[in-house]
């Protein structure tokens, strides 16, 4: 059982590390300029969050969902927004570092 736990732990960390390295390499070797890439990423994230928000708000009148599910889904949406902002700030920082621009203060 312990060996299986180690396997899953290694698999998780390997996947997380691979995703991080892939993201950084993708940003470094992207076919678009940094600002274009940032706008594309920002647009896609905003679009996904808008769709999630629209679906959440459209279900407010649906009595099939209880208050706990609504509260939890709003928490997930808020967390996703915060994580998206963190990712965008990190991407901006990497782009500034690559271009040699001075760092700006982040919120």
Q: Give 76's DSSP letter.
A: H
pLDDT tens-digit profile of 77-92?
Answer: 888 888 888 888 888 8
Q: Please give the distance of CA 33 from its chain centroid, rounded to a whole number.
A: 20
Residues 6+ apart with CB under 8 A from 3: none
pLDDT at 66: 62
17 band by pLDDT with thresholds 50, 70 and 90: very high
Decide: 89 and 106 in contact? Cβ < 8 Å: yes
Tell me how far apart the alpha carbons of residues 103 and 96 are, in angstroms, rounded to a whole number. Answer: 7
Decide: 36 and 27 in contact? Cβ < 8 Å: no
Say yes or no to pLDDT of 16 above 70.
Answer: yes
Is the pLDDT higher at 2 or at 81? 81
The pTM (predicted TM-score) of the whole model is 0.35
Sketch the domain layout of the chain as residue ranges: 31-99
């Amino acid at each position: 059982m312990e060996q299986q736990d180690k396997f899953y732990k290694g698999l998780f960390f390997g996947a997380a590390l691979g995703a991080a390295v892939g993201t950084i390499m993708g940003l470094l070797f992207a076919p678009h300029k940094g600002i274009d890439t940032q706008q594309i990423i920002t647009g896609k994230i905003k679009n996904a969050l808008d769709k999630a928000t629209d679906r959440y708000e459209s279900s407010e009148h649906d009595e099939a969902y209880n208050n706990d599910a609504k509260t939890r889904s709003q928490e997930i949406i808020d967390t996703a927004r915060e994580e998206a902002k963190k990712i965008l700030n990190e991407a901006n920082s990497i782009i500034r570092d690559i271009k040699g621009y001075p760092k700006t203060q982040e919120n």
